[in-house]
Amino acid sequence: MKLIHISDTHIGRGDNALRFERVVEDLLKNPPDAPGNCVVVHTGDLIDSATEANRRAARVLLDRLAARYRVLLSPGNHDYGNAVSVSNEDALAFQQAFGDYIFQGKPASFPVLSEVGAGYVFIGLDSNAEELKFLDRLFAEGRLGGNQLWALNHMLDSPAVAGRQAFIYMHHHPFSFGYSVMPDVGDGKSLYHLFAQLTRPFRRLKDAYSFCQVARDRVQGVLFGHMHYGLDCSGDARKYGIQLALDGSSTTCTDNDGEDRMRYRVIDLSDLSQTTRMLKL
Ligand SMILES: [Fe+2]
Ligand SMILES: [Fe+2]
């Protein structure tokens, strides 16, 4: 079974719709395995801002992908609003527009459990869930909340998961980014670097500690997006008995406008080996 991880396509910003279309075409033309042996996971920020036009454009592209592949989707902060805030109205609109991909034909609540192939389960979380309350919605760094973690805890003990390898997918990153390199100076992006440096520590999922306590030794892999760095956090995750933890980066290379380094990862679930497919526009 092959897992195709895409994330942070931010449709509606720049030429990202075109870029995602190119990725979709590539996946249709060059499947990494028989499509029936693949699952596509999109870890959110499908669209750049919560507008009807963006939802429509994204829907067309996801539908093309879903004609060949099974597609799972978890919502990001941009899907429920934008970079700095989320709203209940936009969350509902997104969940209604993409409910089939998010909830997989099940009742509209998280966590979402899906059997994938023989021996694997995928569990989708909404890492915006508690961001939709009061002041938490500012900065949109993600919080699962006690209710969702309680449900996840019980789900991991349930017969549906027993004996299977479990993979969790969500938008915000639960692992600390060991990103201690100082930003470049003199590249003309000083304000961007300053903002990134100052906000990095609190852009991690707020209840990451509790999540890791629930997931440890019970989950094979965790997939997420949001940071666009594309880091492999498996070293951190292994401290919790989780073998694989990947930031999906931005598949459309949205932070590098004008550059042609679109990419997606393909992970072989049998041995967790991974390859990255790079694409030009
Ligand atoms: Fe993003
Ligand atoms: Fe995000």
pLDDT score recorded for residue 267:
98
- How many domains does the chain divide into? 1
Contact 98, 73 (CB under 8 A): yes
Mean pLDDT of the chain: 91
Expressed in angstroms and rounded, the spacing between residue 247 Cα and the centre of ligand 1 is 11
Question: Domain residues for 182?
Answer: 2-279
Of residues 199, 195, 246, the one with CA closest to residue 221: 246
Counting ligands in written order, the one closest to the CA of 82 is 2
Expressed in angstroms and rounded, the spacing between residue 128 Cα and the centre of ligand 2 is 10
Expressed in angstroms and rounded, the spacing between residue 45 Cα and the centre of ligand 2 is 6
Strand order in the sheet with 38-42: 70-73, 38-42, 2-6, 262-268, 273-279
The Cβ-side half-sphere exposure at 56, using a 13 Å CA radius, reads 3
Contact 120, 269 (CB under 8 A): yes
Counting ligands in written order, the one closest to the CA of 171 is 2
Amino acid at 271: D
CATH number reported for the structural domain that contains residue 169 in this entry = 3.60.21.10
Share of the chain above pLDDT 70, in %: 91
> pLDDT tens for residues 216-275?
999 999 999 988 888 899 999 999 999 999 999 999 998 765 567 899 999 999 999 999
Report the DSSP pairing between strands 120-124 and 112-116.
antiparallel
Expressed in angstroms and rounded, the spacing between residue 204 Cα and the centre of ligand 1 is 13
Counting ligands in written order, the one closest to the CA of 12 is 1
User: Where are the extended beta strands (E) located within 94-149?
Assistant: 112-116, 120-124
Contact 250, 227 (CB under 8 A): no
CA distance 1 to 51: 35
Expressed in angstroms and rounded, the spacing between residue 160 Cα and the centre of ligand 1 is 31
pLDDT confidence tier of residue 182, bands split at 50, 70 and 90: low
> pLDDT tens for residues 92-119?
999 999 999 999 999 999 999 999 988 9
Expressed in angstroms and rounded, the spacing between residue 165 Cα and the centre of ligand 2 is 27
CA distance 47 to 70: 20
Expressed in angstroms and rounded, the spacing between residue 206 Cα and the centre of ligand 2 is 14
Counting ligands in written order, the one closest to the CA of 203 is 2
Strand order in the sheet with 112-116: 112-116, 120-124, 165-169, 221-224, 244-247
